Structure 1
Amino acid sequence: MPPKKRSRTEPIVRVRTGCYTCRRRKKKCDEVRPSCGGCVRNKLNCEWPAKTLPASSTRPNGSNTICDQVVQGQPVSPSTIQTPRRSSGSLSAPVGSTASPPALFSTFDVEDRFSPPTDERALLVPMGYSHATPRSSTSGSDSPTSVTIGNFMPRSLSMLPGYSPESFQLLSHYLATTADVMANGSTPINPFLVQIVPLAFTSDLLLQLVLTQSAAHRAFRCRNDSDEVAQCHYTKALQLFRKGVTEFIDGKESNPLMLTVGALVMCFTETAKGDMNGTIFDHLSAANSLLTHLLSLSDAAVTKDLKDFVIEYYTYTAAVSMISIDARVSHQLLLNFDLEQKARQLLQSEYVGNLCGCWLELLLMIPCIFDLGRQWMMLDDQLTMPTADNIAMFASLQCQIVRWNPFPSVTPEVFLAGRVFQHAMLLYLYTSLGSFSRTEHGMHQGLINTAITEAMSYLNQLSATARINSGLCWPIAVVGSCLCDVEQQEQLRQRLTTMVNTFGLGNMQRTLLLLEHMWDMPLEEAGPWNICRAMQQHQIWISFA
């Protein structure tokens, strides 16, 4: 039997066709008798009127339904909105009830709650409810978002519950800009989007780090060193990251995935903000320890694509950061043997990445060249003659670099960038012999001059606004540190200035700042092996990632 109706002065809002149950629930009825599909699906008592009113009949006194009022742009009175009532003994929250949101939701099944009919989605705005006193009018807003249901006022929709609107803006900036400039465009799939973003929505820590990276990038693009939003997010990110590392050390957190990716995101946050304090090296040290644990996990726990990207991410950042270490006084190697072997496994599939492009093989030679140069440089700067093994290693490295070729499948821009890296690597190798005097027109200086000419030639074929430039700070720094020609220096100056204006990455501006200092130095005190000394002299501790 239908529930006893109460007399009321307000019009009852019902669906104009279908069973009484669907009308009360304001659901579309498929009009199947004796029990419609909606009532069967939701296990309700399907009740039908004795006689169905014509569809063209109007409401008493000419009033319209809520949907009609919304469509026509008319103000909606809170008193015309009714909370749904259920038959068959189901409880419902009457108008004016102080029941909590879970109590309200308990009157609907899961399908009703998350899968509203298409024609109703336009009117659904609340994701949650907060207690509020009923409003007497809706003056000042004709939008459905201003509707009050009983004592509950719908909140505005939020993609980041618990985060401020500023956080949503930062996420939008990351998706639209930051992730795009972090990747060099070597592949059509951007891992900073397809790998990092899904992880960020499963971890408060990683989401905070992504927002911090976006805030740092946005602040630098606006040339706002005192951006309070960026500083606040950066401080919070460091606190969360340190807490996570502490919990991992204490054994409270067994999965290193979020921390490892988080440490790498922090590295590129320093890249975006143009840090000059060497903070990136702290993040690299943390990532080194965490990555070993991560790579021990099965592919079921961490997908192969994500592992490959993390290996590339760390290998690239660690390799290009080694040039900032003084080989004369430090024995530090940021890329250990195990991680190097993992990276070499990627080469078997001709791996092309959005950080290392097609030149991962060249990057893996940097630790070898660094170790070779360190053996030739004494702590007190006294010369030592190279051993037979040193000479053999030098020849082997030179041969590997010279015979290297970009993969034929890459785009022309990636091909050119690979050639730039190739000749910068030759310069890095040749100048490791800088402790030995060389004549102006000697064979050694001739090799250096040839490598410079080739590198500049390939650079000039690349537009300074091409995305591939986001990964070229290292070869530009190596080549630039060897330049004595004013015209070539000006070419690099203009290129880096264009890159800064295009990509808005702080490390590009810091690279130019460092080269300006090196161009003021005597040629014998310049070169890539003296970049670390220029950093120390001018307190510009940067990475070229």
Structure 2
Amino acid sequence: MPPNRRPRTDPIVRVRTGCWSCRRRKKKCDETKPICGGCVRNKLTCQWPTIIPGSKANNLSARPESDPPGQPSEDDQTRMQRGASSSTESTPSEVSPTSDSPEDTSVESGPLISTRQSQSISADSQMAVGNVLPRSLSMFPGHGPESYQLLSHYLATTADCMANGSTPINPFLVQIVPLAFSSDLLLQLVLTQSAAHRAFRSRRESDEVAQSHYTTALQLFRKGVTEFIDGKESNALMLTVGALVMCFTETAKGDMNGTIFDHLTAANSLLVRLLAQSDAAVPKDLKDFVIEYYTYTAAVSMISIDARVSAQLFLDFDLEQKARQLLQSEYVGNLCGCWMELLLMIPCIFDLGRQWMMHDGQSAMPTADDIAMFGSLQVQIMRWMPYASATPEVFLAGRIFQQAMLLYLYTSLGGFSRTDNGMYQGLIDTAITDAMSYLGQLSATARINSGLCWPIAVVGSCLSDAQHQDSLRQRLTTMVNTFGLGNMQRTLLLLEHMWQMPLDEAGPWNICRAMQRNQIWISFA
């Protein structure tokens, strides 16, 4: 027992001048110097706060275990020689690259706890000392270093690949990331998307990290939706954005099981409730992005539905009207670019083509109303122009979408359109030629390509020329190597199957049949 230990008969009071080891352990210190009784019993290094004349706060002075009791350490001697005027400067050994000290001219930061000292303190008793944060604290409670790597990949790569670069501001960064830091669910979904993208880029489709995060994300998302339905969770925003993030996770991983359509269905019902909230509850910029996000994903996914047997519309009339309101401000987004007006015609063309598709093996004849609708849609598509403010790449992408829309409309006539002397065969050939010309002017590595899978699939499904097919094949291969998005590779896989089909079984309206035949259920989002 140290010779100067305080007698046990003294009153027990909570002191604020004990050694730092006792303070961290939340134990009473008997204040015996140089080593208190608690540190002797627990074999800890005893550290004492030192009041430096002229300073406004205490400075930690760590004493190495090798220094004999009663003798000043080398650091102490150095400080004594420097004097009080230079006592606020920290020596290199007192600064840790992992510390994160707020700037405050009135408060000094002492040295970090040494490795041996930190190991001697139980994990649940660690706490901040002065302005220094222990290394055990994390931005991601419950997440390990792996999460930092995934977040870094998302910020540097995934978010960049998801947006097409139509605007200088990337909403996958400025909108999604802040939301993710306010929601455990959304953070997990963002990390999952990053893991899926990283795994595909590395050609590791059986990546354990990606699979583990994906399983966790599905469990959390299903739990959130269940609680929302039961009335236990009222935050429709997080769930809506979460459902859309899950859609693009399927895009990144190249899912072929049609899982994206389940997420899209969930997003539909959630978005309706979200849009009923005021702009005060949901900022307008964020609401506009969510509307664009859903509109884009729903519109380009409708081509995967067999119009002959299903009347399903992912983009219903009310949501379509919300999207049309954005057009009044000449909205340009990182998913729809400047061609949202074209995408909003997809449900109309789908409904028109569904009426002309074959029923019970017999061709349905178009009515006068059908012909009038066809002519109206054709005029709207051909009259469409990219905004004057659009960049050259956005302009070209808009023209590519325009030609794909014409092909989608022309081939909606089914049996009337693909015969050698078909009434619209000349129009189809012209649209193919123009589309391939615009694609030839746009580099396959430009960011805008991340949103071109739908028009490439539509145009590609109509190609019979081997040279044109090889051109798209090379383009999609370059896109896969550049962006590492699974849906690009699946688009090429599907087109390879379609190019083996007879001409009368080709075209965008038979994409769904090629999917069914080859068990490739994808979206082109």
Partner Cα distance (2:121, 2:267) in 1: 54
Tell me the residue number matched to 1:415: 395
Q: 1:337 aligns with which of 312, 317, 320?
A: 317
1:374-393 matches, within 5 Å, as 374-393=354-373
Q: Which of residues 434, 452, 473 is equivalent to 1:472?
A: 452
Structure 2 counterpart of 1:331, which letter?
Answer: A
How far apart, in 1, do the equivalents of 2:324 and 2:484 lie?
32
SS at match of 1:357: coil
Q: Pairwise mapping of residues 146-295 of structure 1 onto structure 2 (< 5 A)?
A: 154-156=134-136, 158-295=138-275
C-alpha contact 2:417 2:425 (8 A) present in aligned 1: no
Q: Rate the CA distance shift 1:404–1:122 in 2: closer, same or farther, 3 A.
A: farther
- Report the CA distance between 1:133 and its aligned residue: 2.0
The answer to whether the 8 Å contact 1:131/1:153 transfers is no
- 1:524 correspondence with 2:509: no
**Partner residue, 1:35:** none
Q: State the alpha-carbon separation in 2 of the partners of residues 59 and 444 from structure 1.
A: 91
Equivalent-residue separation in structure 1 for 2:353 and 2:374 (angstroms): 10
Percent same amino acid at aligned positions?
A: 75
Shift of 1:378: 3.0
TM-aligned CA deviation for residue 380 of structure 1: 1.7
CA apart distance, 1:162:
1.7
Q: Determine whether 1:117 maps to 2:97.
A: no
Question: Could you say which residue in structure 2 is the equivalent of 1:319?
Answer: 299
Distance in 1 between residues matched to 2:212 and 2:249, nearest whole Å: 14
Separation in structure 2 between the aligned mates of residue 148 and residue 280 of structure 1, nearest angstrom: 45
Cross-structure match for 1:460: 440
Partner of 1:18: 54
C-alpha separation between the residues in 2 aligned to 1:125 and 1:485?
70
C-alpha deviation, 1:160, in angstroms: 1.4
Q: Quick one: which amino acid aligns to residue 380 of structure 1?
A: D
**How far apart are 1:416 and its partner, in Å?**
0.2
Cα-to-partner distance string for 1:384-412 (whole Å, 9 max, x where unaligned): 21110000000000000000000000100
Aligned position for 2:72 = none
CA apart distance, 1:455: 0.4
Q: Structure 1 pair 482/254, CA: closer, same or farther in 2 (3 Å)?
A: same
Contact 2:254 2:487 in 1 (8 A): yes
Q: Distance in 1 between matches of 2:109 and 2:435?
A: 58
The equivalent of 1:90 in structure 2 is: none
Shift in Å, 1:482: 0.3
Query: Residues 494 and 75 of structure 1: is their aligned pair in 2 closer, same or farther, counting only changes over 3 Å?
Result: closer
Pairing partner for 2:411 from 394, 419, 431: 431
1:484-539 per-position Cα deviation (integer Å, ceiling 9, x unaligned): 00000000000000000000000000000000000011111110000000000000
TM-score, with length taken from structure 2: 0.81
CA contact (8 A) 2:410 2:417 kept: no
Instruction: Give me the whole-angstrom Cα distance separating, in 2, the residues matched to 1:74 and 1:198.
Output: 34
Instruction: Give the Cα separation in 1 of the matches to 2:382 and 2:489.
Output: 31
**Within-5 A mapping of 1:360-375:** 360-375=340-355
> How far apart are residue 26 of structure 1 and its match?
6.7
Aligned with residue 538 of structure 1, among 513, 518, 521: 518
CA distance in 1, matches of 2:248, 2:378: 31
Give deviations 1:226-264, integer Å, cap 9, x for gaps: 100000000000000000000010011122110000000
Structure 1 119/539 Cα, relative in aligned 2: closer, same or farther at 3 Å?
farther
2:13 alignment partner in structure 1:
none
- Aligned-partner SS, 2:265: helix
Contact kept, 8 Å, 1:181 with 1:467, in 2: the verdict is yes
| Rounded Cα–Cα distance in structure 2 between residues aligned with 1:327 and 1:162 | 47
**Is the Cα contact below 8 Å between 1:134 and 1:148 reproduced in 2?**
no
Unaligned runs of 5+ in 1: 28-56, 77-112, 136-145
Distance in 2 of aligned mates of 1:11 and 1:163: 32
Aligned residue among 463, 481, 494 for 1:514: 494
Change (3 A) 1:453 1:153: closer
Q: Which amino acid aligns with 1:117?
A: D
Partner of 1:350: 330
Instruction: Say whether 1:401 aligns with 2:401.
Output: no
SS at match of 1:307: helix
Tell me the C-alpha RMSD between the 2 structures: 3.3
Aligned-pair CA distance for 1:124: 7.2
Could you list the per-position Cα deviations for residues 405-463 of structure 1 after superposition, in whole angstroms to 9, with x for gaps in the alignment? 00000100000000000000000000001222654255411000000000000010000
Q: Closer, same or farther in 2 for the Cα pair 1:494/1:121, shift >3 Å?
A: farther
Distance 1:116 1:320, change over 3 A: same
Relative to structure 1, is the Cα distance of residues 67 and 367 closer, same or farther in structure 2, using a 3 angstrom cutoff?
same
**8 Å contact kept, 2:253–2:485:** yes
TM-score by length of 1: 0.78
Q: Is the 8 A contact 1:423 1:454 kept in 2?
A: yes
Q: Kindly state the Cα deviation for residue 8 of structure 1 after the two structures are TM-superposed.
A: 4.1
Match of 2:490, as an amino acid?
A: R
Residues 235, 124 of structure 1: CA spacing in aligned structure 2 closer, same or farther, 3 A cutoff?
Answer: farther
Change in 2 beyond 3 A, CA 1:167/1:59: closer
2:52 and 2:58 in contact (8 A); partners too: no
CA contact (8 A) 2:59 2:110 kept: no
Give SS of 2:424's match: helix
1:168 to 1:153, Cα distance in 2 relative to 1, 3 A? closer
Relative distance call for 1:542 and 1:134 in structure 2 (3 A) is: closer
Closer, same or farther: CA 231–377 of 1 in aligned 2, 3 Å: same
Contact 2:400–2:439 under 8 Å retained in 1: yes
Counterparts of 1:435-450 in structure 2, within 5 Å, are: 435-436=415-416, 439-450=419-430
Q: CA 1:425 to 1:70, structure 2 compared with 1: closer, same or farther past 3 Å?
A: same
CA contact under 8 A between 2:307 and 2:350: conserved in structure 1?
Answer: yes
| Aligned amino acid, residue 472 of structure 2 | L
| AA at the equivalent of 1:496 | L
Residues 543 and 11 from structure 1, CA distance in 2 versus in 1: closer, same or farther, beyond 3 angstroms?
closer
Asked if 1 retains the 8 angstrom alpha-carbon contact of 2:163 and 2:172, the reply is yes
| Paired letter, 2:268 | N
| Aligned-partner SS, 1:323 | helix
How many Å separate the matches in 2 of 1:187 and 1:173?
21
Assess if the C-alpha contact under 8 Å between 2:403 and 2:434 holds in 1.
yes
User: Taking structure 1 as reference, are residues 538 and 16 closer, same or farther at Cα in structure 2, changes over 3 Å only?
Assistant: same
